[in-house]
A and B are shown apart, each in its own frame.
Chain A
């Protein structure tokens, strides 16, 4: 870690005391203008808002390390300054900046430079200091020292097919830039990885990232002249179930899917959603113990793609049978609302019943302590919410 730009808080205090308080539940809320923290009581119905820390910084993702419960990584940039990663090893009491943030190699063949660190994933439980970061443009980076120094995963960044797979140059780039996201690590094997490109598709590696293959059969790509292609799709969020690692869920630009390996063809479980709601959205979140249960937050993908709540009636939808049927969950949400929820802005906790949380681009955070049966607004008037993670 750098010596100068470090030390207690760096002016980046995320709470009104040193780091996270002793509340039993915390949510890290990354926004376009800083990092907020919500502290919740045992019931997860009373929440207190702290922050902002990093005021004015664009916080794409903030995450606690589930392996030690104390390390926080924050993917940040500002409107003017380049991207970086901040790290705390004491739950936010003090911060340091990565001494070597994620960056492509100097002299990179594609001339790539990281514009933003978009996604953070803690590594395998057996590799306690390993994290992966996804970037825009679509680079994959890895740290072996808990976030201090990062290096490109050459097997991905320099793959001979990268120029075909990735959305580069950003001629038709995703808003805010094409990004690499959804780095999923198989809990049975640290060398078995999945990632998502928006746009570009889902890719799999079985050798620790040295080589990759597309994994998109069955997914629609309605925005391509030939929709039957091996890659070029637009996964928005891909989640691997920790208790059944052969099961993947995907919220795609074109539908909701499930894949049970070793099969290689995704099944469009979003076809079972109500026709007037559709199956377009950004996040998909999983029950930590039940591989058949997942939540999505549908958005309008018709006409000019407003990507707000269909019909102006916000709701989450839940399946308890792996996508065969879906239940509307809107109790407590406003009857009228045009919410947009980004791909990292929905999450679940490990409680029983499971807590479900989402944040909107309109700066609201909503939560449910009963698996989505009832919702309440935990915070409002925040900047645009980019990410929510349980800490």
Chain B
């Protein structure tokens, strides 16, 4: 499936805003991404397998912070930074 990559993470994807990835859950998807774009996952998920506070995943237009959520059957997953900071 396709994963949309937000601008803060595009230094890992060579500037690509949309990349392919495999997996049945959000966690697996991110793990797959990390094999091709090393270092990306740790910027998004901490060492205790928690999505970082200011990151968010959209599944079919729904906000998701559960890394175990299924992504099966989806065409696209949107990885995005949360509206925060200053």
Shortest CB-to-CB span from B58 to chain A, Å, is 15
Residues of chain B within 8 A (CB-CB) of A167 are none
10 of the cross-chain contacts (CB-CB < 8 Å) are: A4-B12, A4-B38, A5-B37, A80-B6, A80-B81, A81-B44, A81-B52, A97-B39, A108-B47, A114-B46
A269 to B29, CA, bound (A): 57
A107 to B46, CA, bound (A): 11
Show the binding face of B for A, using Cβ within 8 Å: 6, 8-9, 11-12, 14, 36-40, 42-50, 52, 54-55, 81-82, 84-86
Q: Which residue of B lies closest to A111 (CB)?
A: B48
Residues of chain A within 8 A (CB-CB) of B44 are 81-82
Residues of chain A within 8 A (CB-CB) of B9 are 81
Shortest CB-to-CB span from A261 to chain B, Å, is 36
A107 to B49, CA, bound (A): 9
The stretch that binds B, out of A13-21, A98-106, A332-340, is: A98-106
From B8, B12, B49, contact of A80 by CB (8 A): B8
From B8, B14, B49, B81, contact of A106 by CB (8 A): B49
Query: When the two chains form their complex, are residues B55 and A80 in contact, meaning their CB atoms are under 8 A apart?
Result: yes
- B8, B39, B45 pick with most chain A CB within 10 angstroms: B39
Known: A2-B39, A81-B44. 15 other contacts (CB 8 A): A5-B11, A10-B11, A79-B84, A80-B55, A80-B82, A81-B43, A82-B43, A99-B38, A101-B42, A103-B46, A103-B47, A104-B48, A106-B47, A113-B48, A113-B50
Query: When the two chains form their complex, are residues A4 and B50 in contact, meaning their CB atoms are under 8 A apart?
Result: no
A84 to B44, CA, bound (A): 11
Query: When the two chains form their complex, are residues B43 and A4 in contact, meaning their CB atoms are under 8 A apart?
Result: no
Query: When the two chains form their complex, are residues B84 and A80 in contact, meaning their CB atoms are under 8 A apart?
Result: yes
- Asked if A276 CB lies within 8 Å of chain B CBs, one says no
From A11, A79, A84, A106, contact of B39 by CB (8 A): A84
A79 to B11, CA, bound (A): 16
- Asked if A3 CB lies within 8 Å of chain B CBs, one says yes
Query: When the two chains form their complex, are residues B39 and A114 in contact, meaning their CB atoms are under 8 A apart?
Result: no
For the residues of A in contact with B, the DSSP-based class is: loop
A84 to B39, CA, bound (A): 9
Q: C-beta contact mask, A77-89 vs B, less than 8 Å → 1, else 0?
A: 0111110100000
Query: When the two chains form their complex, are residues B47 and A2 in contact, meaning their CB atoms are under 8 A apart?
Result: no
Shortest CB-to-CB span from B13 to chain A, Å, is 8
Query: When the two chains form their complex, are residues B47 and A5 in contact, meaning their CB atoms are under 8 A apart?
Result: no
A106 to B40, CA, bound (A): 17
Query: When the two chains form their complex, are residues A106 and B38 in contact, meaning their CB atoms are under 8 A apart?
Result: no
Q: Which residue of B lies closest to A79 (CB)?
A: B85
Residues of chain A within 8 A (CB-CB) of B42 are 82, 84, 101, 103
Residues of chain B within 8 A (CB-CB) of A78 are 8
Query: When the two chains form their complex, are residues A3 and B55 in contact, meaning their CB atoms are under 8 A apart?
Result: no
Query: When the two chains form their complex, are residues A81 and B8 in contact, meaning their CB atoms are under 8 A apart?
Result: yes
A112 to B50, CA, bound (A): 11
Residues of chain B within 8 A (CB-CB) of A5 are 11-12, 37-40
A113 to B54, CA, bound (A): 14
Q: Which residue of A lies closest to B86 (CB)?
A: A79
Q: Which residue of B lies closest to A97 (CB)?
A: B39
A208 to B85, CA, bound (A): 39
Residues of chain B within 8 A (CB-CB) of A11 are 11
Shortest CB-to-CB span from A9 to chain B, Å, is 11
Query: When the two chains form their complex, are residues A108 and B38 in contact, meaning their CB atoms are under 8 A apart?
Result: no
Query: When the two chains form their complex, are residues B38 and A80 in contact, meaning their CB atoms are under 8 A apart?
Result: no
Residues of chain B within 8 A (CB-CB) of A84 are 39, 42-43
